[in-house]
């Protein structure tokens, strides 16, 4: 029998000394209680040392692209992003790409009529079957309302009903939905409230889906940018809604957006705006989100909204339930992960990593309260006696 102590030992490979980029990245992450190659689920596991310099040089764009390329991983990606944003580490990195993004937004109208169609082709036209697998029965691609709901479908139905209640929809009314998506609000309002609906979208796939799904209902869908939509004075709408579309309007176009809505609405009507928003005016659109998910997007501040409406509208109600978006995004990710095998061959693994990063990083951002979700109810001249928000 061989003696263990006589068995030649294999020398351990020499420990690699971390480079300057890794040391700098580790020190930065430590400020958010994140360890480089640590053992906790939200710690960042670095696979390629060169990615550290890439992340430090390019900020959020480098972080997202390096993840897509498999340069790093994290078991709890949403927890990692939550900690990064809560510690405001984005302010510690100043990549040139971020300064360029701010300059472009100041100099150019990135959401012009010609550019408005880009996000439809790049994002919303990816495949109706893909979005149906992720979004569920409602096909609502906006924040759900989880106050009394336990499932995604129930929470989305609760959000749609909340919108209808806030608008006070009644049978025979006419509703305009600016940015109708896959028609979730149109269908709900027509089926449950007897409302005649018109929806606008810049996505051909969304228009086709909505027209098919709403057959037999008093629903019309128009493939049109909101700026090209004209309403005759005698055909104005009782109510106007915009759910999750305002993020594509851009601050240079806010006056035009609200002017279109105002001209479409009867003098005694109501409008509901449902939008993601940012808390700090100076923060630019995330370069990674702009490049890979929502090109030419821009989040508003609440102040920008109120500045645009104070001359021609009365702000009746403001409701923030942005924390519900965290849970919504996690539910979407769970369904995306469940159904991914159906789409793997079509989209490939880099898309899988991109979509995982998108959903979970956004969940972390809402959990950190770095971004918000507002529902704002407006009226042209003020509701007589005052507006009362329905119990929710």
Compute the CA torsion angle 351, 353, 354, 358 (nearest 10 deg).
140
Mean pLDDT of 368-391: 95
- Name the superfamily (CATH) of residues 113-379: Vaccinia Virus protein VP39 (3.40.50.150)
| Alpha-carbon span 318 to 274, nearest angstrom | 10
Classify residue 285 as left (phi > 0), alpha (psi -120 to 50) or beta: beta
| Alpha-carbon span 314 to 269, nearest angstrom | 11
Mean pLDDT of 200-212: 97
Under the banding of pLDDT at 50, 70 and 90, the label for residue 9 is: very low
pLDDT above 90: percentage of residues in the chain: 83
Tell me which residues are annotated as active site: 362
Per-residue pLDDT, 229: 94
Domain extents for the chain? 18-94, 113-379
**Closest by CA position to 189, among listed 209, 206, 169, 172:** 169
CB contact set of 145 (below 8 Å; sequence gap of 6+): 155, 156, 158, 159, 162, 321, 324, 392
| Alpha-carbon span 182 to 208, nearest angstrom | 9
Q: Find the range with the poorest average confidence among 32-41, 96-105, 126-135, 177-186.
A: 96-105
Q: At residue 179, does pLDDT exceed 70?
A: yes
Phi, psi of 158 (to 5 degrees): -65, -40
Under the banding of pLDDT at 50, 70 and 90, the label for residue 1 is: very low
Token couple for 267: 């003098």
Per-residue pLDDT, 6: 40
SS (H, E, C) 208-260: HHHHHHCCCCCEEEEECCHHHCCCCHHHCEEEEEEECCHHHCCHHHHHHHHHH
């Amino acid at each position: 029998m061989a003696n263990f102590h006589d068995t030649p030992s294999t020398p351990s490979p020499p420990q690699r000394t971390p480079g300057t980029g890794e040391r700098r990245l580790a020190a930065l992450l430590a400020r958010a209680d994140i360890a480089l190659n640590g053992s906790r689920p939200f710690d960042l596991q670095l696979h390629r040392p060169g990615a550290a310099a890439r992340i430090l040089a390019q900020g959020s764009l480098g972080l997202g692209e390096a993840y897509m390329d498999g340069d790093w991983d994290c078991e709890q990606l949403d927890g990692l992003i939550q900690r990064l944003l809560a510690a405001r580490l984005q302010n510690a990195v100043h990549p040139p790409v971020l300064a360029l993004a701010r300059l472009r937004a100041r100099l150019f109208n990135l959401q012009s009529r010609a550019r408005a169609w880009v996000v439809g082709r790049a994002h919303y036209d990816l495949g109706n079957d893909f979005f149906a697998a992720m979004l569920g029965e409602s096909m609502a691609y906006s924040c759900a309302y989880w106050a009394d709901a336990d499932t995604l479908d129930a929470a989305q139905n609760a959000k749609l009903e909340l919108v209808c209640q806030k608008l006070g929809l009644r049978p025979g009314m006419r509703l305009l939905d600016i940015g109708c998506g896959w028609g979730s609000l149109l269908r709900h309002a027509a089926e449950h409230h007897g409302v005649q609906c018109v929806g606008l979208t810049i996505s051909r796939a969304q228009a086709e889906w909505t027209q098919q799904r709403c057959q037999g209902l008093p629903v019309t869908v128009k493939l049109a940018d909101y700026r090209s939509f004209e309403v005759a004075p005698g055909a104005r709408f009782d109510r106007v809604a915009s759910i999750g579309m305002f993020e594509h309007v851009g601050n240079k176009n806010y006056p035009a957006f609200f002017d279109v809505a105002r001209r479409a609405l009867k003098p005694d009507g109501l409008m509901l705006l449902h939008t993601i928003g940012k808390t700090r005016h100076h923060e630019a659109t995330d370069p990674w989100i702009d490049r890979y998910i929502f090109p030419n997007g821009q989040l508003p501040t609440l102040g920008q909204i109120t500045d645009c409406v104070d001359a021609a509208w009365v702000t009746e109600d403001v409701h923030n339930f942005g924390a519900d978006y965290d849970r919504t995004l996690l539910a979407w990710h769970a369904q995306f992960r469940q159904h991914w095998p159906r789409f793997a061959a079509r989209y490939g693994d880099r898309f899988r990593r991109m979509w995982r990063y998108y959903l979970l990083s956004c969940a972390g951002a809402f959990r950190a309260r770095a971004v918000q979700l507002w529902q704002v109810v407006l009226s042209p001249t003020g509701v007589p006696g005052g507006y009362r928000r329905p119990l929710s």
